Amino acid sequence: MNQERVPRRSITGVIRSFFALNSSMIALLAMVVLVGMGEKMAERFLPLYLMAVGGTTWAVGSLNGMDNLLSALYSFPGGYLSDLLGYKKALIVFNLVAMVGYVIVILVPTWWAVLIGAVFFISWTAISLPAIMSLVSKAVPKDKRTMGVSLHSLTRRIPMALGPLVGGALIQVFGRIKGVRISFGVALLLGAVAIVLEVFFIEEDPDAGKKDRAVHLRDSIRFITPDLRNLLISDILIRFAEQIPYAFVVLWVVDRNGITPLQFGVLTTIEMVTAMLVYIPIAILADRNSKKPFVLTTFVFFTAFPIVLYFSRSFPALCGAFVLRGLKEYGEPTRKALIMDLAPENAKASTFGTYYLLRDLIVSVAAFGAAWLWNRGPGVNFFTAAAFGAAGTIYFAVFGRDLKSAV
């Protein structure tokens, strides 16, 4: 008797389905690795580079403040252009902008050239994130959205882990000035390769050119619901905890505690590998269970890191501190997925950009003030950061909505 045979799915098909992979997602992840690798080879060491070319701690603080301020100012235009042009064309434009910044730093080895170049290259993550989130929301099924965001977050950590390792080795061999400039040269080359991937492998945005008009800022602000507002307030306080010590971590580790740039690269790798190990398990659990506990746990890790860092004075102790720093990514994809779920279908990128505009605009105040705190002592800087983290954690514990019920 003939029996109809049921075809079995290939292992590749099962993997692609489980991780919500398709041609656009695969090209996106490859692009993230290439651009991120070039960026992170130099970004973590820019405070050291600034000091080496004649800058002061105020220049370091200004760079970090610019990072947050420009992230805020570029977030909404990034979402606006993504909605207007479509995510594919927008990503190409954003990569070209970053490459202009790399060229400035390569050609002009001064501290003020870094600040000018940063206007272009420091913007890439912030200006491109709304387009990336829009691509993810359209390229994967809704019930796989947290997985898609988590996969992007995990992939971002590959260059964040390897980039500082390679950058630290270049500084070890060629010195702080030449090593950083070589890193930016590599970043320029990798950015060009990423544009080729975007042109040939990312599918066109199905909604590109179909909108009568892009969503304006006043419209997007109305899309910030009470649930998003509570998340935004707690997120702002937590980012104070992150950004107040951020630019000075490398100075604390290398200049205050005698750790080499290469060892700092190893510490960054430990941080990113830790983050990568928790992304997929948490994505699976977050899609099936209440999401608030995952975000709340993330906020606890943000709060604890500056305290632990202050008491870490040796390489083994610092390894433990950077494991903790990696764990702060525990619930980040869940938070990003919630923003996309609550945003209107035809304006996800704009709403996401508006959220980050409001958040980073306020947080930039803390980043600019971080140098003042650092000059009064690392302990003042670190413990002030922890106090803001504690406030954000308590606020979310009391007022934050269970994320599962909001989706």
Residue 15 in domain? no
Confidence of residue 16 (pLDDT cuts 50, 70, 90): low
For the chain, the domain total comes to 1
Q: Tell me, what's the pLDDT at 210?
A: 57
Whether residue 2 is contained in a domain is answered as no
Does the pLDDT of residue 402 top 70, yes or no?
no
Taking 70 as the threshold, does the pLDDT of residue 4 lie above it?
A: no
Per-residue b or e along 79-97, where b marks 16 or more CB atoms closer than 10 Å to that residue's CB: bbbbbbbbbbbbbbbbbeb
Looking up residue 373, the CATH number of its domain turns out to be 1.20.1250.20
37/41 Cα distance (integer angstroms)? 6
Angle at 170 between CA 275 and CA 257, to 5 degrees: 65
Radius of gyration of the chain (CA): 21
Quickly list DSSP for 17-34: HHTT--HHHHHHHHHHHH
Residue 214 covered by a domain:
no
Structure tokens at 219: 């419209």
pLDDT over 90 for what percent of the chain?
35
* Domain span including residue 46: 21-203+223-406
Residue 353 included in any domain: yes
38 domain-assigned:
yes
pLDDT tens per residue across span 47-90: 989 999 998 888 888 888 888 788 778 877 887 788 788 888 88
In a domain, 400, yes or no: yes
Q: Please tell me whether residue 249 adopts helix, strand or coil conformation.
A: helix
Count of positions (residues) in the chain: 407
What per-residue confidence (pLDDT) applies to 156? 83
> How high is the pLDDT of residue 161?
82
**Which residues 6+ apart lie within 8 Å of 397 measured at CB?**
296
Is residue 12 in a domain?
Answer: no
Residue 294 and residue 299: Cα distance in Å, rounded? 9
Place 403 in a pLDDT band, splitting at 50, 70 and 90.
very low
Residue 369 lies in a domain: yes
Query: pLDDT category, 217, cuts 50, 70, 90?
Result: low
